[in-house]
Structure 1
């Protein structure tokens, strides 16, 4: 039974990874072609819309995170649909009211550009938050096949819009595209995805529903458990992006561009991280707390083993950049420093955060996050003040990640008396190995050396993980 659950977990993870990779490709297409289609000024207006639309995601007030926490791991067929319909209709009504207020207030903005942008944000926030509600519910009931198909549809829709617009310009059917036109297309894409979710889960909207009065306590509970998670997630984003903010403030646009491009390269690796994060919580939430706690160290080991293997992507990527994008060679130094942080970030985002959620310690995680954010602000500023060097800020951000991991990891170990293992030492050792091996100029030699050391250290310190993966492969081969 346990092997079947593990096989299902890995199959669903691979499935979501593939769809997330399609989203990544569409994002690359947008990132490379859209600026050319819109031009500098129009592209700037569109990015302004995107900047403010991020805050629109906060207007669900934690409700969608509450849905994921409450229903994570449950069987869709066994959930009372009358309760779900009441919850769904309440949330759609709430978002419609909030978005309408934002749109109405935006009508009084005197500046035409900002008026359009905030009206668009108001409309988009309703679509996005309702879309996220269905997406999180799909994740909660572990319908990862459908989730993957929706991600593919989103990637294809976005890519088609960009390609069609580029084609129309090439054949001179249109001379240029303004930011308003692309913003309409962007919003319509999300509207199509929302309708796809609603068609799939029409039982959540249509049919007999319980009264709001009977569901009042449940709805309040969803806000209560979800709000700390939403705020914690936003604080995590601030911590992870703080170094980028400092670079944009204290250094010129060229250095900021190189630093930002390094983060774009890192996203090639975090695509896998996002996929695993999507799958892991419902599986953890489905387990008994005692069993989940017992497997905590092993789950950290899995993620570390996977991520420190995946950062070998540095070697082919740096060759690609040197040959195809020589103007971005300066990004490679930042890429090299920051990339091992993916292993640390993955432990925090995938495992530790989810364990805080399933053990109802979201408020504690929030408090730790606020403390780490303050520490990050101080350390990043000191790095700039003392060294006046962007590389110092990059190293400082890596130190902050490690401290964040130590604090949150230590809390779980002490709180639940978990048996200590070698994960922290493995993480630190592999980070140092990567940083030293990448000093070798020959990429082939450095890649081979890194993989040899990786497999050696992983076999020595994470032997259980190696044996477990081997057993899964054997079982999979036998099933075939």
Structure 2
């Protein structure tokens, strides 16, 4: 059996376990937390999760640059003293920046609960950003097992603490956030132990260390801004929803987004090991791998959409206070189709081909569209439904434009597949929004059968390929 395939399967097994655990924990928390805490507290908790997703980008692109530059290298070959300096530089930088943000916000804020959320978010930033240098280097050098353990530690401690607090009747949002912070704290302690050569030890010369920081920032800034712009695409819509309506409404919409994102956890696991693998792969093999991976991802995701109907029924019974928000699931569920393809395949390939500038330009164009759509849907038409639908439309637009550009670079044809996926998601949204669940399920099932028939030859080829791999073990 090909050694690269063996390593890929071995690494995937580690990410599979960590992501299976993440799926279980996320599912339990999504079902339990809104059941036991008030809608307002849930909203503030989601606000913390929302803010912390942005605070993690305060690395100046240093970690992204290191990831791009050393992706595919061996961990033992890294020049450790340079990374020691960079790690402690990030620690000091983030303490100063996050402390400044917390103080400035608390002085100007009129909402004490939001001030608490912002302060705890800044505390999270001090932990997350330096840790990202370590986790990025583990991913870049294909030490997926250690990376997976770090994620498992964070999620397990977080989960245990949340359950303990809910069990003893402590249902304030602050304690939910404390659980997350302690989970991250324990994980960074383990990360520092695993990557102790990158954390403890002598610094390289100041001149060389500063030069390396500058090079990493120069290389990674485009990717950082591209990823940040990617966050803004949905972030602008969510931020304006919270401002226009309320924290409670923000929490309800966030719950629906969280449920939709659950479908992406397993798919995105592959992305962790795909980048270093592709960096070691000959460019002539990239197009064929892309077409295979595309089918592996898109077919299961489109099949998973059919579970929306029983999921909506179950969640409406379990969380009756959020019944209204589950209506939005019909609009948001398809976002996982486009976001998974973008994050896993398109962005991974663009990074492998070192086209971070393309990622940035496409994301900035989509951010501009997000601003326009948000203005019309939130402030002009005052429609929450259109605001939520715009999230899926924006992610679909970005995915399609990026894939068309990538297909030219790889010299492959994807237009037919893109049209098929747009038709499938369009059918799903339309029937789920306007028709009864039973009728909508039947129509989408028929559409799915037609789609699978069209893709029959590709699916059969993949099945034969997987059998040949098993026999070669």
- TM-score computed with the length of structure 2 as normaliser: 0.83
Where does structure 1 lack aligned partners over 5 or more consecutive residues?
Answer: 171-175
- CA–CA separation in structure 2 for the residues paired with 1:333 and 1:206: 51
Give how far 1:6 is off. Answer: 4.4
- Residues 367-400 of structure 1 show CA distances to partners (whole Å, capped at 9, x for unaligned) of 2211111112213433457754333333433333
Q: What displacement does 1:431 show? A: 1.4
Cα separation, partners in 2 of 1:397 and 1:158, compared to 1, 3 Å: closer
**Which residue in the other structure is 1:358 paired with?**
352
* Counterpart position of 1:280: 274
Give the alignment of 1:61-460 within 5 angstroms.
61-77=60-76, 79-80=77-78, 83-100=79-96, 102-103=98-99, 121=121, 123-167=123-167, 169=168, 186-207=180-201, 210-251=204-245, 256-383=250-377, 388-420=382-414, 422-435=416-429, 438=432, 441=436, 443=438, 450-451=444-445, 453-460=447-454
What residue ranges of structure 2 are gaps of 5+ in the alignment?
Answer: none
User: 1:297 and 1:184, CA in 2 relative to 1: closer, same or farther beyond 3 A?
Assistant: closer
Residues of 2 paired with 1:344 and 1:135: CA distance? 26
CA contact (8 A) 2:43 2:250 kept: no
Q: How far apart, CA to CA, are the structure 2 residues paired with 1:235 and 1:121?
A: 20
Structure 1: how far apart are the matches of 2:418 and 2:186?
44
Residues 315-324 or 248-257, more deviating: 248-257
TM superposition shift of 1:314:
1.0
Measure, in 2, the Cα distance between the counterparts of 1:152 and 1:306. 25
| 3-state SS, counterpart of residue 142 of structure 2 | coil
Which one has the largest radius of gyration? 1
- Report the Cα offset of residue 31 of structure 1: 5.8
Could you tell me how far apart the structure 2 residues matched to 1:234 and 1:372 are?
12
Deviation at 1:424, TM superposition (A): 0.9
Pair 1:290–1:95, CA change in 2 (3 A): farther
Residues 4-19 of structure 1 mapped to structure 2, 5 A cutoff = 5-6=4-5, 8-9=7-8, 12-13=11-12, 15-19=14-18
SS at 2:263 equivalent = helix
Q: 1:454, 1:75 → 2: CA distance?
A: 43
1:173 is matched with none
Distance in 2 separating the partners of 1:414 and 1:52: 36
**What does residue 56 of structure 2 align with?**
57
- Contact 1:459/1:466 (8 A) holds in 2: no
